[in-house]
Amino acid sequence: MSINSENTASQKLPLQGVGGRPLRIIISGGGTGGHIFPAVSIANALKKLDPDTEILFVGANGRMEMEKVPAAGYKIIGLDISGIQRKAIWKNVMFPVKLLRSVRKALQIIKDFKPDAAVGVGGFASGPLLYAASLKGIPTLIQEQNSYAGITNKWLGAKAKKICVAFDGMEKFFPFEKIIKTGNPIRKESVNIAGKHMQALELYKLSSFKKTILITGGSLGARTLNNSIMAGLDKIIAADVQVIWQTGKFYYQSVLQQLGPDKHPDICVVEFLNRMDLAYAAADVVISRAGAGTIAELCVIKKPVILVPSPNVAEDHQTKNALALVEEQAAIFVADRDAEARLVDKALELLNDNDLQKTLSNNIGKLALPDADEVIAKEVIQITNNN
């Protein structure tokens, strides 16, 4: 279940839409950076293939894509749609009304924009937009980032022309003949770490004679990771290792207050990692959540990693993402509920086990698919053939 690159390369990609005009592509989805970044990457790859391609984003009003997509240089239209609330059922009273209104608006968007294809990357807006596109005979492509497909994508998969995935075994959720393993788009600048180790140590004021652990919980941070590092801080200091600790904006001040004015010099605390490439380059071991986009980057940098999946995501897909790597002996898994008691011990054990580090690095590197954005963009163009 992998892309037939020879066939794709030999087929002439259509770079014109109806009547010889430039291709028009709608990309829908968002809600989190894990959805927005792949969407923008696919758009950029489409523009690289043909700068005249016209791209319109469709997102959900009030979600972060309404800010991030325009910042990336693309137009976006918002739908008044939100997800189903599993913990507060009463909040779903208006969901059918919002869904119907969103489908109607999506139909109008399609009528006005006249797309040659529609792409769904996950998130609230993908469902109404791709459903409306299928009603109008517009070919659709789904980019499923996780190893466990969400409800919306499983439903939309029946009508999609292509389903681009990042993990094996996705025929459990989608028709086998539609699946193509492309991987997830990555931030190329974030994984370009070659030759940057000393530069990274200088940036974070770290020693070249000590081993380094990188802890990253994403831009917002991860309470479990922060609590776990705080609980094991004495062990880290006693082991004479150093830490780049990205707390996230919600927890940064709290962590600084707990550390106090006498913070140990080997503990580098940052709110956000503006140079992800240098953080990766400095690390001997990485501790991370298990979002699909993060995993795609970790595969490319080939560093030994401990994954602590967030339990607060739909269908617990981060746990399934992490276990997919564990099955390939490409990562170590620590459950969120066990992290405070076990995470630091696991990290120190890994730092002292060179053979295990080498095994993990080799195996995770075998899973890397660094050109996913370009491959997906070519598939988007290809499905316009029969439109």
Question: Using an 8 Å Cβ cutoff, are 311 and 336 in contact?
Answer: yes
Asked whether residue 319 is marked as a ligand-binding residue, the answer is: no
CB 165 within 8 A of CB 182: yes
- Tokens representing residue 84 in the block: 């189903």
In 3D, which of 133, 117, 144, 116 has the Cα closest to residue 1?
Answer: 144
**Does the annotation list 219 as a binding residue?**
yes
Is 146 marked within a binding site? yes
Q: Is 207 assigned a ligand-binding role in the annotation?
A: no
Count CB neighbours of 216 within 10 A: 25
236 touches 263 (CB < 8 A): no
> Does the annotation flag 187 for ligand binding?
yes
Enumerate the known binding-site residues for UDP-N-acetyl-alpha-D-glucosamine.
Answer: 32-34, 146, 187, 219, 318
Enumerate the known binding-site residues.
Answer: 32-34, 146, 187, 219, 318
